[in-house]
């Protein structure tokens, strides 16, 4: 799964979790994490409509559009945004699993998105992901025949 798709899934599930009313809960960590992610995207990447999934969070067309905006703006390459997305996915998985189904996803997709965001963060910390939005080759990937192996 690409980082932009993983972030889109975080936003979609966070938006869906926000729509589930819970009048007895004084704290809603998944919703708080979602709102923090949306605010961070709005501040750093105003060209991204981070709230578009608050209406019809399960819409594949809206999800695709948001993923494209995240990729083209560079938000998918931003370590802080990816970390906030990871937090949303973790809390949704633990506390609002119905939000996953609401966006026509499953727990395996969320787990894959978490792995993607964790892997992207590890690459960034190790200095491998030099250009946001353009993944660096994996350390164990085969080099093309005309290039020497790393």
Please name which of 44, 62, 40 lies closest in space to residue 53, comparing C-alpha atoms: 62
State both tokens at 16: 């869906």
Q: Over the stretch 57-115, which tens digit does the pLDDT of each residue have?
A: 999 999 999 999 999 999 999 999 999 999 999 999 998 889 999 999 999 999 999 99
Q: How far is CA 118 from each of CA 2, 24, 56, 66, 82, rounded to the nearest angstrom?
A: 12, 33, 27, 20, 8
Rounded to whole angstroms, how far apart are CA atoms 140 and 134? Answer: 17
Q: Domain extents for the chain?
A: 3-125
Lowest-pLDDT range of 23-32, 111-120, 135-144: 135-144
For residue 10, the surrounding DSSP H or E stretch is helix 3-19
DSSP label of 26:
S
pLDDT band at 124 (very low <50, low <70, confident <90, very high): low
Rounded to whole angstroms, how far apart are CA atoms 31 and 19? Answer: 9
What's the mean pLDDT in 36-60?
A: 95
pTM: 0.78
Rounded to whole angstroms, how far apart are CA atoms 60 and 64? Answer: 6
What's the mean pLDDT in 34-53?
A: 96
- pLDDT over threshold 90, residue 132: no
């Amino acid at each position: 799964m690409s980082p932009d798709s993983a972030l889109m899934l975080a936003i979609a599930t966070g938006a869906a979790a926000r729509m589930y009313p819970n009048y007895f809960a004084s704290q809603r960590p998944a919703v708080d994490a979602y709102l923090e992610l949306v605010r961070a995207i709005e501040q750093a990447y105003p060209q991204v409509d981070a709230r578009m999934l608050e209406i019809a969070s399960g819409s594949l067309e809206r999800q695709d559009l948001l993923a494209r905006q995240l990729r083209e703006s560079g938000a998918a390459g931003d370590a802080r945004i990816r970390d906030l997305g990871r937090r949303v996915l973790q809390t949704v998985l633990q506390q609002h699993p119905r939000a996953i189904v609401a966006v026509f996803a499953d727990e395996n997709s969320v787990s894959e998105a978490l792995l993607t965001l964790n892997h992207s963060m590890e690459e960034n910390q190790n200095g491998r992901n030099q250009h946001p939005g353009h993944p660096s080759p994996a350390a164990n990937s085969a080099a093309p025949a005309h290039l020497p192996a790393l």
